[in-house]
């Protein structure tokens, strides 16, 4: 079976690891997948799966993935030509993502079975409903990645998805044995003697990093031997200014450090294994965030905001704090930072949660079943 797969953003686990695991499924129908992508996601980890697939993943590059380059007139024309040429090939199924991609309109017109996956949750008003309804009428299957997102879609836009399929993690790379904690800390030049709190997301308002920052003074009063590592990539400049001011105001300069480098997927386990507790403060997520699932797969004790799809993704694999409540987050952090036995239990539960239901091996089979049904 030949599948055309449209990527979304820089979600390497979804864009490349998922298609790769589809090609590994032993079935009557062998999958060969053509991936429409940009150069940047390939550099961030897509290359690893393309090489590993031994020709079963074909990368169809249509742009750089860098906004200021792709906005040039010549680059826009090149993208249109590439997409048009791709659509002239014969496919069994088209796997679509991302309503903001200009290629979507072209791909929706193909007269072959199509499925669309909604990444995100409508924890907002219904401004996107008209676009999503238009897509819904043109595809054969409409997928959300969480039951929370399915519920929000029904409540806000008044229609239901046909399927719910969660995100998954490649546990061959992300697992508790990938690196020892001390080894990982040394690689990242982090003090081995200090506990590390990791926050990993876009630096933008909906991620609510300030909830963690407001919690830290309460933590410091009882436990001082820690550092917060803010691992971020895409940055909203106005929000960054706000965060830096808050760090100054709360006297947290000696407790918060930033890593704004782009790190390839296969090196991200180093960050998670160097971490003593992972914190997700986001108010809206498709399925708890892929970063959180990666941390859990590495056996990292995890604390998440009791909002959006976070509870559905975490389940008993970690602790939830009251929605946007810094005081409750501080209490949860102190429990994990000061109780090594609890930290070990939470780390085991986090890994077990991913291992039991959220491996890419199991998630890919669900997509394979959907492909074959179409």
Q: How far apart are CA 199 and CA 187, in angstroms?
A: 18
Bridge partners (DSSP) of residue 198 are 229, 278
Looking at the fold, whether 253 and 306 belong to one and the same domain comes out as yes
Residue 137 and residue 224 share a domain: no
- Same domain? For 342 and 315 the reply is yes
28 within some domain: yes
Single pTM value for the model:
0.94
Give the total number of structural domains in the chain: 2
Is-contact 141 148, C-beta < 8 A?
Answer: no
**pLDDT at position 85 over 90:** no
Of 88-102, 164-178, 324-338, which gets the smallest average pLDDT? 88-102
Residue 299 sits in which domain range? 181-357
**176 assigned to some structural domain:** no
Residue 175 located in a structural domain: no
Q: Is residue 124 part of a domain?
A: yes
The residues, ordered by sequence, that sit 6+ positions from 191 with a Cβ below 8 Å of its Cβ are 185, 227
Q: How confident is the model at residue 28 (pLDDT cuts 50, 70, 90)?
A: low
Q: Looking at the predicted structure, is the pLDDT value of residue 27 above 80?
A: no
pLDDT of 63 over the 90 cut: no
Residues 345 and 286 in one domain: yes
Query: In this predicted structure, which of 41-45, 84-88, 250-254 has the lowest mean pLDDT?
Result: 84-88
pLDDT in tens, 161-173: 999 999 999 999 9
For residue 119, the surrounding DSSP H or E stretch is: none
Is residue 291 within 8 A of residue 271, CB to CB? The reply is: no
Question: How far is Cα 213 from Cα 252, in angstroms, rounded to an integer?
Answer: 8
For residue 55, name the pLDDT band (cuts at 50, 70, 90): very high
What is the pLDDT confidence band of residue 83, given thresholds at 50, 70 and 90?
confident
Token digits of residue 197: 């709190």
Q: Residue 104 maps to which CATH number?
A: 3.40.50.2000
In a domain, 20, yes or no: yes
Of 218 and 68, the one with more pLDDT: 218
Q: Mean pLDDT, the chain, as a whole number?
A: 93
CB contact burial 286-295 (16+ within 10 A = b; e otherwise): bbbbbbbbbb
* One domain for residues 188 and 150: no
């Amino acid at each position: 079976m030949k599948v055309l797969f449209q990527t979304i953003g820089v979600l390497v686990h979804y864009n490349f690891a998922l298609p790769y695991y589809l090609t590994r499924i032993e079935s009557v129908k062998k999958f060969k997948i053509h991936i429409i992508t940009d150069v940047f996601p390939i550099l961030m980890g897509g290359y690893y799966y393309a090489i590993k697939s031994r020709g079963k993943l074909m990368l169809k590059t249509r742009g750089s993935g860098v906004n200021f380059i792709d906005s040039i007139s010549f680059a826009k024309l090149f993208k249109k030509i590439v997409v048009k040429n791709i659509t002239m090939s014969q496919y069994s199924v088209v796997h679509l993502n991302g309503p903001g991609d200009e290629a979507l309109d072209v791909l929706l017109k193909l007269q072959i079975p199509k499925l669309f996956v909604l990444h995100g949750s409508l924890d907002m008003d219904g401004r996107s409903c008209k676009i999503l309804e238009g897509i819904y009428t043109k595809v054969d299957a409409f997928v959300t990645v969480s039951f929370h997102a399915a519920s929000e879609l029904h409540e806000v836009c008044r229609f239901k998805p046909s399927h719910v399929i969660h995100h998954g993690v490649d546990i061959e790379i992300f697992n508790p044995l990938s690196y020892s904690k001390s080894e990982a800390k040394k690689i990242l030049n982090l003090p081995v003697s200090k506990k590390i709190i990791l926050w990993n997301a876009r630096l933008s308002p909906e991620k609510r990093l300030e909830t963690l920052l407001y919690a830290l003074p309460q933590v410091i009063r009882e436990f001082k031997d820690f550092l917060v590592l803010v691992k971020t990539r895409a940055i909203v400049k106005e929000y960054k200014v706000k965060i830096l001011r808050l760090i100054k105001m709360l006297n947290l300069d000696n407790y918060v450090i930033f890593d704004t480098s782009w790190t390839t997927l296969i090196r991200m386990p180093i960050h998670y294994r160097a971490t003593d507790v992972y914190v997700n403060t986001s108010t809206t997520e498709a399925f708890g965030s892929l970063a959180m699932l990666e941390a859990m797969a590495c056996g990292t004790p995890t604390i998440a905001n009791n909002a959006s799809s976070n509870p559905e993704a975490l389940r008993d694999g970690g602790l939830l704090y009251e929605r946007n409540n810094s005081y409750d987050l501080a209490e949860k952090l102190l429990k994990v930072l000061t109780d090594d036995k609890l930290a070990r239990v939470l780390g085991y539960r986090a890994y077990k949660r991913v291992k039991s239901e959220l491996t890419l091996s199991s998630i890919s089979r669900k997509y394979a079943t959907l492909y074959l049904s179409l």
